[in-house]
Structure 1
Amino acid sequence: MRALTTRPRVLAVLLAGTALTFSPLGGQATAKLPADQLTNPCFTPAGASAKGGRAADHREISAAEQKAIEARTAQLLKAKAARGIAVPKGALAAATVPVYVHVMRDAAGNGDVTNTQIADQIDVLNETFAGDESSAAADTGFTFSLAGTFRYNNNQWHKDKQSASYRKQTRKGGANALNIWLVDFSYLGIATFPWDYAKNPGVDGIRVHFDSLPGGSIANFNLGETATHEAGHWFGLYHTFQGGCTTTNDEVEDTPAQSSPTSGCPVGRDSCNLPGLDPIHNYMDYSYDSCYNQFTPKQSTRISSMWTAYRT
């Protein structure tokens, strides 16, 4: 287990759905979801059309769309550079990201997490994006600061129902703010991409199973690395297996191509005949939390570019 320290945080209470007292519910939530019942460890919804963590909202990004996104990103970076908004060559964008955590409890208090768990989750984000879990990991230059914690009692929201509506009602901050909604659903997490922000800013952010936070109850996925994985999408990273065994793959040169997602931590796995073993330790694969330990330097460069293009 990694050592985590508690950081200062802000607690706010909003009323939604059933009555909510002004004394936060304490202790661990009792709802559990075994890892083998998670139908899909992560999915990325279709931006503006995202409505709730179910199959109808799941989409793959085609090769043609992927190419169009890269072209659009290049255009935006060029236009911003012309206006003096650019990162010097060889450098990376760096910022402190305000994080708003929305705890979606049901009327009985299921789905609640402690303030300590939330603080520990912020620590995990800071550790992973700083490259502190491995000597091979890149420091992305981004840090995270808890800007507010909001607790709601709403049976529908707790189960990620009406998600487009509840996100628009509760989201805080601008394009640079990471909103995390903690819910109880059949996934570990769901994320929006930065290039979808302009079309539908109200749903921008990540939804994470509340029991995946540090100290949660989902075996192999309770060290807080799900939020790191989903935040990677929020910054503009694809899965390392995006597009399968292709040279384009995830648009990152130093993540070897892989044909399919990883399960567990199979050292030496090689699912693709292109050079390199599968990057099973990369946060953008589907490995166990304990297996994850790095973003690569080129992923860090992509995060910098996507931040500059879409979130500044």
Structure 2
Amino acid sequence: MKKVIISACAALLLFACQNDQSENTNSETAIASRRACASQDVLHAQLKADPSLAIRMNEIEAFTAKHLSSNFTGRLVNGKIEIPVVVNVLYRTTAQNISDAQIQSQIDVLNKDFNALNSDYNNVPALFAGVKANIGITFVLDQVIRKSTTKTSWGTNDAMKKTAQGGIAPTSPTTKLNMWSCTIGGGILGYAQFPGGASSTDGVVIDPRYFGLSGSANAPFNLGRTATHEVGHWMNLRHIWGDATCGSDLVADTPTHNEENYGIPAYPHYSTCSGTPVEMTMNYMDYVDDAGMYMFSAGQKSRIAAIFTSGGARASFAQ
């Protein structure tokens, strides 16, 4: 397991890294064969547009480093933080106007994955059994907002979040997690905004074909894990390979990965990075298929806990 050393400089370098989101089609109808998350690319664009964002994110990293052992405090329901979710549906076709049942299935997946109730949780290999974690956060559907559009795709410039550009503005983004279901294009399954960004664009975007368990959801991304991955980003988790060859995700108990993994890698899958560790390919923050990801680590749980504690970037969700 890697040792994590966090400094403002190192964090800034991490945030500036771009991940290659290669996909050979921009077709609205083509189904992605490999996971592509645009969160890091969107972050890079936001940093370029707003240099002060790097300062805010470095302050968040410094706070996180000091509070990694903090426990959740504040608004609790049955002993857990409960996050209200607003789902904003932008649709051009009937299939894109995902049903309430499909939306609820996604909320159900989030509740299972973030509470170690997923049926594949026990598939975690013995090597990682000591660090697999129950995050202990619950989600409740607060509202569904629907809007018809003529757009064939929305891209990753946050247009879907802006009324003036035909989108839907977020509802109470400091106390509710906003999710947008819309056709993104470019083979992108989804993306999220990391803590520190503007509240007017805060939340998670997911293509309707990879949202939840039913309706327009398509294999190999039909188990709702795209949202689990993106909400992980929204809660300040990085890609497990650190968006660089043998990079750092700022979590001490996740092995160093060469790069992203796709499909469902055979276990054990060894890294060629220093020490040749076995990669934690089944972690939600890798790029494997939905059926291949089924765990968070204790270090990731601690990193998430820090943003919800008093003074944390998302402390308003725990009030």
**What TM-score do you get using the length of structure 1 for normalisation?**
0.72
Superposition map of 1:9-20 within 5 A:
none
Aligned to 1:180: 179
Q: Do the aligned partners of 1:109 and 1:153 also contact (CA within 8 Å) in 2?
A: no
2:209 paired residue among 208, 211, 219 = 211
Q: Do the aligned partners of 1:48 and 1:203 also contact (CA within 8 Å) in 2?
A: no
Aligned to 1:10: none
Aligned to 1:302: 303
Deviation for aligned residue 1:75 = 4.3
SS in 1 for 2:196: helix
Aligned to 1:74: 62
Deviation for aligned residue 1:193 = 0.1
Deviation for aligned residue 1:239 = 0.3
Aligned to 1:91: 71
- Deviation per CA, 1:250-289: give whole Å up to 9, x if none: 0101110101101111122223333431111100000110
In structure 2, how many angstroms separate the alpha carbons of the residues matched to 1:233 and 1:251?
13
Aligned to 2:192: 191
In structure 1, how many angstroms separate the alpha carbons of the residues matched to 2:56 and 2:100?
41
Aligned to 1:222: 222
Q: Do the aligned partners of 1:45 and 1:190 also contact (CA within 8 Å) in 2?
A: no
- Aligned residues: CA RMSD: 3.0
Aligned to 2:149: 154
Q: Do the aligned partners of 1:239 and 1:250 also contact (CA within 8 Å) in 2?
A: yes
Deviation for aligned residue 1:33 = 3.0
Give the aligned length.
255
Superposition map of 1:245-264 within 5 A:
245-246=245-246, 249-264=248-263
2:116 paired residue among 123, 131, 135 = 131
SS in 1 for 2:313: helix
- Deviation per CA, 1:102-149: give whole Å up to 9, x if none: 11101x434111111111100000000112231443111211010000
SS in 2 for 1:175: coil
- Deviation per CA, 1:144-198: give whole Å up to 9, x if none: 0100001110122x621595344143211132421110111231111110122xx
SS in 1 for 2:103: helix
Deviation for aligned residue 1:245 = 4.8
Q: Do the aligned partners of 2:107 and 2:140 also contact (CA within 8 Å) in 1?
A: yes
| Paired residue type of 1:43 | S
Q: Do the aligned partners of 1:241 and 1:258 also contact (CA within 8 Å) in 2?
A: yes
List structure 1 segments (4+ residues) > 6 angstroms apart after TM superposition.
Answer: none
Q: Do the aligned partners of 1:100 and 1:148 also contact (CA within 8 Å) in 2?
A: yes
Q: Do the aligned partners of 2:38 and 2:188 also contact (CA within 8 Å) in 1?
A: yes
Aligned to 2:12: none
In structure 2, how many angstroms separate the alpha carbons of the residues matched to 1:68 and 1:284?
23
Q: 1:152 to 1:48 in 2, by over 3 A?
A: farther
Q: 1:293 to 1:159 in 2, by over 3 A?
A: same
1:34 paired residue among 22, 27, 31 = 31
Q: Structure 1 unaligned segments of length 5 or more: list them.
A: 1-30, 51-56, 60-64, 79-85
Deviates more, 1:177-186 or 1:286-295: 177-186
In structure 2, how many angstroms separate the alpha carbons of the residues matched to 1:96 and 1:146?
10
Superposition map of 1:98-137 within 5 A:
98-106=84-92, 108-133=93-118, 134-135=121-122, 136=129, 137=132
Q: Do the aligned partners of 1:103 and 1:182 also contact (CA within 8 Å) in 2?
A: yes
Deviates more, 1:202-211 or 1:130-139: 130-139
| Paired residue type of 1:265 | I
Q: Do the aligned partners of 2:88 and 2:178 also contact (CA within 8 Å) in 1?
A: yes
- Deviation per CA, 1:12-48: give whole Å up to 9, x if none: xxxxxxxxxxxxxxxxxxx743223x68344334459
Residue 161 of structure 2 corresponds to residue 167 of structure 1: yes
Q: Do the aligned partners of 1:258 and 1:271 also contact (CA within 8 Å) in 2?
A: yes
In structure 2, how many angstroms separate the alpha carbons of the residues matched to 1:90 and 1:206?
25
Deviation for aligned residue 1:68 = 8.4
Deviation for aligned residue 1:217 = 4.1
SS in 2 for 1:34: coil
Q: Do the aligned partners of 2:42 and 2:157 also contact (CA within 8 Å) in 1?
A: no
In structure 2, how many angstroms separate the alpha carbons of the residues matched to 1:162 and 1:292?
24
Q: Structure 2 unaligned segments of length 5 or more: list them.
A: 1-27, 74-79, 123-128, 164-168
Q: Percent identity?
A: 27
Higher relative contact order (CA 8 A, sep 6+): 2
**What TM-score do you get using the length of structure 2 for normalisation?**
0.71
| Paired residue type of 2:137 | F
Q: 1:217 to 1:118 in 2, by over 3 A?
A: closer
Q: 1:204 to 1:45 in 2, by over 3 A?
A: farther
Aligned to 1:290: 291
Q: Do the aligned partners of 1:265 and 1:291 also contact (CA within 8 Å) in 2?
A: yes
